[in-house]
Amino acid sequence: MSIMTTTLPDTAVARRAMIDSQLRTSGVNEEYVLARMLAVPREDFLPADKASVAYIDRAVMLGEQGYLAAPLFYGKLLMEAAPAPTDRVLVVEGGTSYLAALLRPLVAGLDAISAADAAAGAGGAPYDLILIDGAIEHLPDALAARLADDGRLVTGLLLRQVTRLASGRKVAGQINLQPVEDLGIPVLHAFDAPKRWTFA
């Protein structure tokens, strides 16, 4: 009698290990988050020479093209965002379209834009949810204007050289970002705070 066994491809095994050892152990247990991160292969968003490090527990840097942030950042970001099926979403990308791929089946509509274009004020009509794939030091007024009243914004935030996950809601035209927790998040320099003159 022979026993037939099936083995998952290495990348599927790596995704399952990412779920079990990086996400669940850090408090990311929402099924919609885990299902999307299990379904979307991270290596598909990396050049071939970086595919072998797709599931490490830190960001994969891509030079001037940006980065693919650590799995835990995406898990926590999606959990904090709590996307609704009726949401119209704007994703500000950090260098790959991975976040947009995770999110697209969960919402009514999704537009993606580069960090440089978002910082310059490009974008469409008001959105219910804006997600920024990276840590920002400064939220430009033009990007804040893209968020509908009572809309949510979830991003990384650079405060005193420490990166944190942060979220906020637009109330009376203002967005007050509140830190959620410290996380290692690549910084999007397109959103560096404007330099101010100082006098010695």
- CATH number for position 151: 3.40.50.150
Percent helix / strand / coil, the chain, rounded to 5: 35, 30, 35
pLDDT value at residue 197: 53
pLDDT band at residue 6 under the 50/70/90 scheme: very low
> Is 196 inside any structural domain?
no
Q: Assess if residue 101 is contained within a domain.
A: yes
When the pLDDT of each residue in the chain is averaged and rounded to a whole number, the result is 91
**% of the chain with per-residue pLDDT over 70:** 92
In a domain, 174, yes or no: yes
Structural domain range at position 63: 10-191
- Whether 1 is covered by a domain: the verdict is no
Among 106, 151, 103, 93, CA closest to 125 = 151
149-181 core/surface letters (b: 16 or more CB in 10 A; e: else):
eebbbbbbbbeeeebbbbbbebeeeebebeebe
Instruction: Look at residue 113 and tell me if it is in a domain.
Output: yes
Total domains in the fold of the chain: 1
**The pLDDT value given to residue 119:** 83
Identify whether 198 is part of a domain: no
What pLDDT does 195 receive? 72
Quote the CA–CA distance of 118 and 123 in Å, as a whole number. 7
Q: Is residue 124 part of a domain?
A: yes
Helix residue ranges per DSSP H, 64-114: 71-81, 98-103
| This prediction's pTM | 0.90
Beta-carbon contacts of 126 under 8 Å, excluding residues fewer than 6 positions away, are 146, 147, 148, 149, 151
Residue 198 predicted with pLDDT over 60: no
Give domain status of residue 2, yes or no: no
What token pair was written down for 24?
């669940």
